Structure 1
């Protein structure tokens, strides 16, 4: 294989802007957050066109198909030509709905919650946990 046809997975993920630094991409591979066919892969894995990777970044999950090899970091408009985001729409919507969850706010200066207030807060939090598990 020619040197231009070889590319490490950590460098690829960094160059297509899925990770801010190459070190973060390497750490994600070592931690098992990058998978190919359900298998954890090492940072030195050589990327091939057509590979489909499952990338977990915090609560965000992505599925990425390699369409081209990019050897250096480029701007966002150029990067789009080197991968396809094939993440199912259900997962994408689930990730976005996490940000629209109700939040608890108390008026400033009201002091500590009473025992009754605390029970209501606990009930509200447990209801949110049940909804997020469904």
Structure 2
């Protein structure tokens, strides 16, 4: 049995480049944002070929099937060969991206507290309704 036959989920997520650091991957697993075959897992859980992993890093969700095992982080093309994203996941991510593009977060344009000028504009807009 080689080293790559037994890879921890946090190490695999880091090697597959879903998280920048292994500690961020372990934290996501601890918080229940990673599920293997629809079950909550712990960071020490081993990944097996064919496992279906649900990954939520806060801003994006993936559903992937494990196609390779690695405990070392390599170049992006090597990392992408470790998994295959499901069609449902690809479609959902595309829909989410389009929704974010069409309806940006209203508070994203606000920088800090409103100025006196901004407050007056807000009050005028409220009076017109």
Task: With the length of structure 2 as denominator, give the TM-score of the two structures.
Answer: 0.78
1:117 to 105, 125, 128: 125
Matched residues, number: 120
2:82 aligned residue? 82
Distance in structure 2 (CA, Å) of the matches to 1:74 and 1:91: 27
1:69 aligned residue? 69
The SS at the match of 2:65 is strand
Is the CA contact (8 Å cut-off) linking 1:64 and 1:87 kept in structure 2? no
The SS at the match of 1:62 is strand
- The Cα offsets for residues 17-52 of structure 1, whole Å up to 9 and x where unpaired, read as 000000000000000000123211100000000001
Q: CA deviation at 1:116?
A: 4.6
Task: With the length of structure 1 as denominator, give the TM-score of the two structures.
Answer: 0.76
Q: Give the root-mean-square deviation of aligned CA atoms.
A: 2.6
C-alpha spacing 1:103/1:14, structure 2 compared with 1 (3 Å): closer
4+ residue runs of structure 1 moved beyond 6 angstroms?
none
Distance in structure 2 (CA, Å) of the matches to 1:102 and 1:60: 16
Does residue 100 of structure 1 match 2:102? yes
- The Cα offsets for residues 41-88 of structure 1, whole Å up to 9 and x where unpaired, read as 100000000001000111311001110111200111121211111152
Is the CA contact (8 Å cut-off) linking 1:51 and 1:66 kept in structure 2? yes
The SS at the match of 2:93 is helix
Distance in structure 2 (CA, Å) of the matches to 1:8 and 1:46: 4
Q: CA deviation at 1:109?
A: 7.9
The SS at the match of 1:35 is strand
Distance in structure 2 (CA, Å) of the matches to 1:114 and 1:95: 30
Gaps of 5+ in 2: none
